[in-house]
Amino acid sequence: MKKSISALFIAATLIFSAATVFAASGASLFNSEGCIACHTINGQGGSVGPNLTHAGSKRSLSWIKTQIKNPGAHFASGSSITINGKSYMAIMPSHKHISASKLNALATYLESLK
């Protein structure tokens, strides 16, 4: 009995650290994929696009994935839009060729920002 409880504990710890690493790689992709040039998270980044510090509080995982791959599905390219009371020109480039694993890591990271 004791043994299985400690095995469970170890398994839970492993899953938790794997989830942490996963989220961390999403954060680094935010830099390496160039998102930070236009978007700010926690006070760092550009302001061409909306601040994403709380991206996950209003957008779902699948919505964020679509936005990364094909922003035109949400906002007509070149149009003037309002997000959180601020206006933007919808010029986010589509990242059509991003790998599924990068897309997943990036979107999971953004969705975790509440």
Q: Which residues bind ligand HEC (CB under 6 A)?
A: 33-35, 37-39, 48-50, 52, 55, 59, 64, 67-68, 71, 75, 81, 83, 88, 90-93, 95, 106, 110
CB of 20 to ligand HEC, least distance (A): 20
With contact defined as beta carbons under 8 Å apart, do 29 and 102 qualify? Answer: yes
Tell the smallest beta-carbon distance from residue 109 to ligand HEC (Å): 9
Which residues are bridge partners to 81 per DSSP?
Answer: 88
| Closer residue to ligand HEC, CB minimum distance, 25 or 52 | 52
How distant, in Å, are the alpha carbons of 15, 20, 50, 75 from that of 10? Answer: 9, 15, 40, 45
Tokens 């999971």, residue?
108
What is the smallest separation between the CB atom of 17 and ligand HEC, expressed in angstroms? Answer: 24
